[in-house]
Chains A and B, each alone.
Chain A
Amino acid sequence: MTSANVAEVLPDGNLALPEEVKRVFADVKTFWVARGDGFLVLMPLELTSGEALLPKQALDKLREMVAKAGGLDKTPAEVIEELRAIRKQVWESEYRPKYAQVLEEYYASHPDRRPG
């Protein structure tokens, strides 16, 4: 990952990337911006030199990628349990700290609802 000085936050709140980064992504028309764990991620979506994907094509491509990787080798119940485990991890690490105080107040008055 490149050092933090590659991006500049402009007075209007926009983010400006330097020429070096622009050159790397010269063919990219659209980016998706997502929050990573402690950073922002810019993902190139469509290339001006290629055909833009349609949502159904994206879906088919996703299915192909997963099938090539061996597909879902779990039962529906196992998949749901796996997703529940991820949800619990994300809740504990990302969400719960934001609600910690209000949850403590809630459990103080609703002790029967306190988990485990």
Chain B
Amino acid sequence: MPATLIVVLDSNEYIFGIGDPTSESAALLDALATRDWQGTLVVATPWMVEREVVRNLSALAPMASRTFYFLLAHAPWDGVTYTDPPSELVLKYLDLGLAEEDAIIAAFAEMVNAQYLVSENRHFLEGLKSDAFQVINAAAFLEMVKTGT
């Protein structure tokens, strides 16, 4: 593994990880929130994912967004990135067959030099073949960090 992994979590990892404590997404969030990742792993969060999670959480529990921001503000999370990906990266992922709204997430992952995009969304898992990063689900990511491969 590289010295510092940069990882992007898709919004579904947060919603499953918070809403279903028995899920693999919950195990992933637990591992991120409890282990000392200093110097080994950073979670980068695009504005799009923040918006999706906040809108979804707010519909479930109005005060939850504040606590969610607290999580994003603490390591290994690196806050929210409001910088938009360059258009050439967005077009690259349109060329690879993604919908516009998914292309922005993939472009973000490449922009921040992420090695992994973690998602339970089969559109990403089956459809996105990037030369810049791997798309894996929470279970695979957990296994990967456990074995250090």
Contact residues in A for B73 (Cβ distance below 8 Å): 30, 32, 45
Q: Name the residue on A nearest B102 (C-beta).
A: A87
Given A71-B19, A96-B100, residue A66 in contact with residue B52 (CB < 8 A): no
Chain A nearest CB from B50 CB (Å) reads 7
Q: Are A62 and B57 in contact (CB under 8 A)?
A: yes
Q: Does A21 contact B (CB under 8 A)?
A: no
Which of A65, A72, A94 interacts with B20 by CB under 8 Å? A72
Contact residues in B for A98 (Cβ distance below 8 Å): 84
Within 8 A of A (CB), among B80-94: 80, 82, 84, 87, 90-91, 94
Q: Name the residue on B nearest A61 (C-beta).
A: B67
Q: Does B12 contact A (CB under 8 A)?
A: yes
Q: Are A34 and B12 in contact (CB under 8 A)?
A: no
Q: Are A90 and B52 in contact (CB under 8 A)?
A: yes
Within 8 A of A (CB), among B60-87: 60-61, 63-75, 77, 80, 82, 84, 87
Q: Are A35 and B47 in contact (CB under 8 A)?
A: yes
Contact residues in A for B19 (Cβ distance below 8 Å): 63, 66, 71-72, 79
Given A61-B67, A62-B64, A83-B52, residue A88 in contact with residue B33 (CB < 8 A): no
Which of A72, A103, A106 interacts with B15 by CB under 8 Å? A72
Contact residues in B for A108 (Cβ distance below 8 Å): none
Which of A30, A34, A76 interacts with B50 by CB under 8 Å? A34
Q: Are B51 and A80 in contact (CB under 8 A)?
A: no
Contact residues in A for B21 (Cβ distance below 8 Å): 63
Within 8 A of B (CB), among A11-34: 30, 32, 34
Chain B nearest CB from A12 CB (Å) reads 20
Q: Are A62 and B18 in contact (CB under 8 A)?
A: yes
Q: Does A7 contact B (CB under 8 A)?
A: no
Complex CA distance for A65 and B64, rounded to whole angstroms? 7
Q: Does B126 contact A (CB under 8 A)?
A: no
Please list 10 pairs of residues, one from A and one from B, whose beta carbons are closer than 8 Å in the complex, sorted by A's number: A34-B50, A43-B66, A55-B71, A58-B70, A59-B30, A62-B68, A87-B101, A91-B48, A102-B87, A110-B94
Residues of B within 8 A of A (CB): 11-12, 15-21, 26, 29-30, 32-34, 47-48, 50-52, 55-57, 60-61, 63-75, 77, 80, 82, 84, 87, 90-91, 94-95, 99-102, 104-105, 120-121, 123
8 additional A-B residue pairs with CB within 8 Å, beyond A61-B67, A69-B60, A80-B12: A32-B70, A59-B33, A69-B61, A86-B51, A86-B55, A94-B51, A95-B101, A110-B95
